[in-house]
Amino acid sequence: MLRRPSLLVILWLVIGLIVAANNGYLGGIKDVSDFLSAVIAIIAWPLVLLSVDVHI
C-alpha cells in the first residue's frame, strides 16, 4: 500500500519549484542536462539560495 507524501515533503518541493523558477532553472529546458539541473535545483533549493551553481 502506498503512503501519501508528508506535508513537509510537499512544502519542500513547492518551495524548490519556486526557487528554481526564480533562478532560471526552469526557463529553457532543451536537453537532459538542463532537465537534471532543474531537478537538482528543486531538490537542493537551499544550495541555490546560497548561490551554489547546480548546472550540470
| Closest alpha carbon to 42 in 4, 2, 15, 5 | 15
Identify the burial level of 48 via C-beta atoms within 10 angstroms of its C-beta, where 0-12 means exposed, 13-18 middle and 19 or more buried.
buried
Contacts of 41 (CB under 8 A, 6+ apart): 16, 19, 20, 23, 25, 48, 54
Grid cell locating 54 = 547546480
pLDDT of residue 6: 93
pLDDT of residue 5: 85
Q: Give the model confidence (pLDDT) of 8-51 as tens digits.
A: 999 999 999 999 999 999 988 999 999 999 999 999 999 999 99
- The full set of domain ranges for the chain reads 7-49
